[in-house]
Amino acid sequence: MKIAVLTKRFPSVSETFVVDHVRELARAGHEVHVYANESEFDAADLNMAADGKVAIYLLPETTIRLVRKLSIFIRLLLTMPWWRLTPLLHLKSTSRLYAMMRTRQFLENGHVYDLYHGHFAHAGDELGCLKQAGIISGPVVVSLHGYDVNRTPDAGGAEYHHLFEHCERYLVTTRFMAGQAKKLGCDTDKITILPTGIHSQKFQPRRVRTAADSAIELLTVARLVSQKGLDYGLRAVARLLGEGCRVHYRIIGEGPLLNDLMALATELEIADSVTFDGAQPHASVVQALQTADVFLFPTIRSEEGDEEAQGIVLLEAQASGVPVVATDCGGVPEVVRTDASAILVTERDVSALSEAVKTVVSGNRWQEMSESGPPFIRENFDIHRQMEKMIDLYGQLVSNKVSP
């Protein structure tokens, strides 16, 4: 199949699942063209050329977009009936600009695709708009990943009018996400639950924990935003230290709350026991999991309505044999083996978090939890199995054989 993948950024450090999607499609023999607004780093670093059938099309720089906006619209009016462009006028101003320039890209490239796949609701809305306008044809699949349906200014779904009216299939990672999409007006019969998979073979399970008399190594990998609940993680560490436990807490990730979290660590007098490592390449995350005793994931429902959709790093922790202590929030319960590879507690409960950590490292519990994670991930979240399911769905859509 010839497949167009639409996303906001490609490649993106925080969206490795999009890179994996494109790479695995190419390795399965499909021709993949990626359309993105921008990139965070040079795609050449991904060695995509080795996969054979990947092309990447980026929009011009922001200043060029703004200058060319009017001229592109005029040229489009001269090359196609004006009424075909009216759906674009219903998009928000930025989305309208992207859709206009995407239209030009599709027309200039002259490619005809068997299927279009948008990552996040904004890409799906854009593709639905282009399909209504007759600019593209073929089935449209949209992956809804989290914030795009958890937090929207229009709870009635009107913001995503084209998304829910003109796309054939919506992929979500958990039942929780399916419920969120339904609340926004998505047709339940068009929703497929397909968790994002990981390369489980890349993660080597730990065999034994560090010595019992050494510090408990806690690890969190997350963006430093309110939804990740890292302030509760820091308070749980302070509680453990106050009870005489030896603890070191390593936080990998960047975000707008870095200074606030560092200040809180100082206020709690635990700064010497906390390391903020910033954003790290994925290889460094894999290595960090090899030395962690407990993966701490204190995510919450933020004031903006954000909740964890799936939590890919939870899969990686379990695949590495690292016991998980997390909150029972969003889609988290659906991607861990509760009371086997993970202990879940109520969100915002500092005492419960610290007690769960102590439970994990007591007696034989750590070894039992460590051994429970890897087979669970291999069986349910291996990327090759998940991609086989996705490609099978593609084939059914292209041949018009998908049943609700």
Asked if pLDDT for residue 247 goes beyond 80, the answer is: yes
Find the mean pLDDT for residues 92-120: 78
Mean pLDDT, all residues of the chain: 87
Q: How far is CA 79 from CA 72, 73, 82, 83, 314, in A?
A: 11, 10, 9, 12, 50
Q: According to the model, what pLDDT value does residue 404 have?
A: 47
Residue 94 has pLDDT above 60, yes or no: no
pLDDT band at 141 (very low <50, low <70, confident <90, very high): very high
Burial 52-82 (b: 16+ CB within 10 A, else e): ebbebbebeeeeebeebeeebbeebeeeeee
* Tokens describing residue 271: 């700064």
What are the φ/ψ torsions at residue 8 (nearest 5 degrees)? Answer: -75, -45
CATH of the domain at 130: 3.40.50.2000
Q: What is the mean pLDDT of residues 234-263?
A: 97
Same-domain pairing of 274 and 291: yes
Question: What would the pLDDT profile of 344-357 be if each residue is shown by its tens digit?
Answer: 999 999 999 999 99
Question: Are residues 260 and 166 part of one domain?
Answer: no
Residues 59 and 165 in one domain: yes
Task: Note whether 232 and 92 are same-domain residues.
Answer: no
DSSP, residue by residue, 356-396: HHHHHTSTTHHHHHHHHHHHHHHHH-BHHHHHHHHHHHHHH
Residues 28 and 177 in one domain: yes
Structural domain total, the chain: 2
Same domain, 146 and 208: no
| Pair (90, 210) in one structural domain | no
Q: Which residues pair with 344 in a beta bridge?
A: 326
Domain match, 187 and 321 both: no
Pair (224, 278) in one structural domain = yes
In terms of residue numbers, what domain contains 109?
2-197+382-398
282, part of any domain: yes
One domain for residues 245 and 160 = no
Phi, psi of 399 (to 5 degrees): -90, 5
Average pLDDT value for residue range 180-205: 93
Query: Do 245 and 97 fall within a single domain?
Result: no
Tens-digit pLDDT profile for residues 25-45 = 999 999 999 999 888 777 666
**15 shares its domain with 138:** yes
Hey, which of 63-67, 106-110, 315-319 has the most confident mean pLDDT? 315-319
On the question of pLDDT at 117 being above 60, the answer is yes
| pLDDT band at 68; cut points 50, 70, 90 | low
Give the pLDDT confidence score for residue 64 in this predicted structure: 45
